[in-house]
Structure 1
């Protein structure tokens, strides 16, 4: 890792993913047979922390797990990927879980039970910010309490950190909070919830969010790539063509990779292009954290793609 690379602080969720594969996602009221059942370490916060660490970043995770087997497995996954888990506290409530159904085309539906994620506390956030040698990149998501999200962004922004919010699951954001966000990264569905817009009008949704105070907005569009927007310009980021197996952690792979590239001094646009490569690799593998690639894999993937152009 380059000694000039900024640190990354992730404040967010840690879940054990309980994954069932099916031929097709069930309809309302329908009972179907699953094909396989597997457990994977996950949670949007944990996934983004692992993604960035496997790409070579110095990453610290703030969150909470229960005093149970799932909690221990999640902490081990962080440590094995190179994440500093010193600020992952033990709560007197069960570890968060996510019930995930994945169809044969890689599409999924997810139900999250927060559990210990709602025990994420301000004291751990304060300590992590104080311990950082220099201001870096902050990653936050919406799978922890709203008050903690707002507190984290406010405190980090005041200390000179670059703030990134992945607003998933989507909930309305105040203009005060948006004004403290350097990069907002919703997917197309979340962008519509945040703005009350209509499907297919992602550029309009981005403009609304920029007008409300966000410095930059990147709307991820699945197999259509992403839209990277600032006040100065909108830029379509085209996806890499791959055969998707499981899209569960694609968005988290993207966010973690974007933070890594920013921490290395790349521009937002350059970072978005790098993130597209990381997400492309992730969807070709099953599971959340196990699907996230190491840096050498990403570098090789990009070299091969460029060689085919």
Structure 2
């Protein structure tokens, strides 16, 4: 079977993750028990997740002309990801500082850096790459006009658009745009459409992930719940991105069990520290999937 072509437009960050006993309160200083530096950013996380899940992935984004940027491009290429859409900027490569507590919960501070240097002209220059995809996967760590234009180019060409609108912004809430699939967590869903209304969410398929609770799949045909595997999380920071990347691939393959596949990927990603180091490969996902009801 030919691998589905997934184009990811999004962020590339270098993550600095610190293990702490609890998330610090305002004004509080805590000692970390360890630190892990690795590649991250929601866009690149989802690109790696899609590639490891079996997709032929192209990444569009922006990194700095610094050493981190050079190493990041080389790393993505080693993951089998097409990096011709990655632009180099005078701005530094984006970075994130993540505190993870003993329960696996996290708190994140992001410095966008080069992620905010990508422009509408850059997206227009990559239009043919977008038009040739089976699905385009988007998030909100790049400028909203860029994300919106990528979605417009894709939809005009009949390419399916999957949006994970995170981190949720006031700009998106006031000027949301049409997509095919919207992937959100419970908190995001409450802000976007408290009544789980597809017209209000501006999508045809609304997916609501709920941690250890069943994922909700909402379409014009109704609501379907799909339970994820039961796990004890070590670090939840990459779970949502693993879900999104895996779903993009499985749904593009036409799999009826795409949500079960994505649930398994998300659950597996909580069992290791870090975002991309924890993202599972396709064989791991397949073997971890719970049986269908």
What is the TM-score when the length of structure 2 is the normalising length? 0.93
User: In structure 2, the residue corresponding to 1:186 is in which secondary structure?
Assistant: strand
Please list, as runs of the form range in 1=range in 2, the aligned pairs for 1:204-215 lying within 5 A after superposition: 204=195, 206-207=196-197, 209-215=198-204
What is the number of equivalent residue pairs in this alignment? 292
**1:32 matched to which residue of 2?**
30
Deviation at 1:122, TM superposition (A): 3.3
**2:186 matched to which residue of 1?**
188
**1:253 matched to which residue of 2?**
242
RMSD: 2.0
**1:11 matched to which residue of 2?**
9
**1:286 matched to which residue of 2?**
273
Deviation at 1:293, TM superposition (A): 0.9
Pairing 1:54–2:52 present = yes
Q: Which runs of 5+ in 1 are unaligned?
A: 198-203
**2:207 matched to which residue of 1?**
218
**1:200 matched to which residue of 2?**
none
**1:157 matched to which residue of 2?**
155
Pairing 1:83–2:84 present = no
- Is this contact kept in 2: 1:12–1:44, CA < 8 A? yes
**1:266 matched to which residue of 2?**
255
* Closer/same/farther in 2, CA of residues 300 and 216 from structure 1, 3 Å limit: same
**1:228 matched to which residue of 2?**
217
| Superposed CA offset, 1:28-52 (max 9, x none) | 2211111101101000000000000
- Is this contact kept in 1: 2:7–2:133, CA < 8 A? no
**1:168 matched to which residue of 2?**
166
Residue of structure 2 aligned with 1:70, choices 62, 65, 68: 68
Deviation at 1:192, TM superposition (A): 2.2
User: In structure 2, the residue corresponding to 1:217 is in which secondary structure?
Assistant: strand
- Is this contact kept in 2: 1:6–1:134, CA < 8 A? no
